[in-house]
Structure 1
Amino acid sequence: MMFQRLVECGDELKLCLENIAGRGEVIEVKDILARFSTDVISSCAFGIECNCLKNENAEFRQWGRKIFQPSIGQIIIGILSNTAPVVLDKLKLSTLDSDVSKYFRKMVQETVEYREMNNVKRNDFMQLLIQLKQKGSLDSEQGAEDRSDEEFSGTGETADGLSMNSLAAQAFVFFFAGFETSSTTMTFCLYELSVNPDIQERLRTEINTVLEKHDGKLSYEAVQEMSYLDKVVSETLRKYPPLSSLMRQCSKPYKIPETDIVLDKGTRVVIPVIGLHLDPKFYPEPDRFDPERFSEEEKQKRHHYVYLPFGEGPRICIGMRFGLMQTKVGLVSLLSKYQFSVSKKTPVPLMFDAKSFILAPAGGMWLQIENRRMK
């Protein structure tokens, strides 16, 4: 089952930090969490065991880095894709590095061909895509555990059959959503929990209580019961959305309310996600980390579309559920055993990496890690 592999990766993450926590050392958590995310994605999406937690120079990790550390040329192309897409079409330029694109397509094609030739089946995201490719829909006779895989992988839909290019593209989006975005969300979350130890302790109490109820085992149902964890992750994504803005295109003419401005069909619109998330009109004291903003009562007070960490509507990120579950499993694995605090090397206030494709801390994230104190 895909979720069980997530839990196994979480256990490996705990083990990786065991000696460091025993000495109460200060560590750079962003890179470790990125390696954890790579292990999760490579296994759950592609069926590849790359062991990045043990080998930080694993090939899969190196190719993943290239996506989020673009060259100057790729940055310029990225800007053109939003401001002058016609130029890219004329010049036949792609926002994605051609070598990266070839690597992922080759890997997906080889994985699919091997599984089809050898009748290999695994409970992972790639198997769901292969099923869509072959049948155009997912089997209806699945157990509850397999359906939970669909729920957080975002593939619970039918299709007319996926071509190899479409299959590779879907796998890449899944990789993109779960690789760096989940690791940076966990990074920012641990930072806020270190700065706000009372919130960290309340979350740890919930984690321990729920795990005890489930005989110490982390299950899909156990994570779903952790309501405060959901609030903490949601508040982290509010303050630190992976993408600071979204680009959308009008599908029909639209008149902006209370103005005379009409956006024609085909007009490109930039949605300032971070501007919405930090607007005091929607979130009073927006710089304060307050998970209670996401209580059911508080959520009812504001418009649904002022919270857009994954986009919304038919173009919402297909890897959203998986990314959230990966983030939650990683946090539960860490906080059930360790506690985090600020150190002299912790950046306060935070500075962001201006060269990063997604919102990321400049210079990494240095936090002190210790074994949790038993009461």
Structure 2
Amino acid sequence: MEAALVVVVVALALGFDYTNGFHDAANAIATSVSTRALTPGIALILAAVMNFAGALLGTEVAETIATAIVNLDGASTRSELTVVLAALVGAIAWNLITWWFGLPSSSTHALIGGLVGAGLAGGMAVYWSAIVDKVVLPMVLSPLVGFGAAFAVMIGVLWIFRNASPGRTGRRFRLAQTVSAAAMALGHGLQDAQKTMGVIFLALLAAGWADPDAGIPLWVKLSAAAAISAGTYAGGWRIMRTLGRRIIDLDPARGFVAESVSAIVLYANAFLLHAPVSTTHTITSAIMGVGATHRLSAVRWGVAGNIAVAWVLTIPAAALIAALFTWVLNPILG
């Protein structure tokens, strides 16, 4: 039974990774597509390739997911796998719900919420202090940093190019967006694919199929990278329209600044803090920041408010779905 559960968990984890890819593809390419810096087809290929590359750059975020959210020590193998399985169901369900409504919610927080909800329903201990340090604080601070930094950098760009030809400047920033979109996609792979690696590693450790001292196996890294890359290539057009057109009307300069600032925030959290932050929160707040430099009314705050509601609901909603699924599974799996 345990072997079958591990296989199901790995398959579901890769399925979550795929939904993460098409759900969050907009994070990397919406601004470039909306400003016509890249065609949709080229943008998706670029994002898929860079997501794959980013997924292989490190494992620090994966280890945080595997070891710093729920304490599975002392539980039976079947109970541990049930918690991981239910967490994935909660995360996938919330990803699909928000994708359907075109809301750019966080796959990161959906997975963390799923782990917390399933862990509590399964009688496991939750590392609340680690969640506050590694999840809650970055969840609050990253959008604020993204908004503030994007606003400040955009003010600087406007001042530097205040006397430049608008047409020539626009063409240059369209070219520059190829680089910034690639950097954003690399950061997305670095952050989001690692979460799937962490969940698979958690299942393998529970079943005794992996050595905690040996780190995450290469096949886990490659499969997670491939799944998020394939999902990214499938696209996420509903959410792309929200990020690219409904928050503000982007121009190439603002698109470049939003992507560049977001990529830096993602890299800093992955390499320095080892914190699983949301690419969705980061890019959305950066888009609002560059939009606010035009005028505050340029940001469609009603749309932003709907997105904020989805952000707030993500962790508790995914946790509730995962908890319900845990209560259903426990009697079945004994």
TM-score, L = length of structure 2: 0.28
Higher helix share: 2
Q: What TM-score do the two structures reach when normalised by structure 1?
A: 0.25
Write 1 or 2 for the structure with the bigger share of strand: 1
Q: Which is greater in Rg?
A: 1
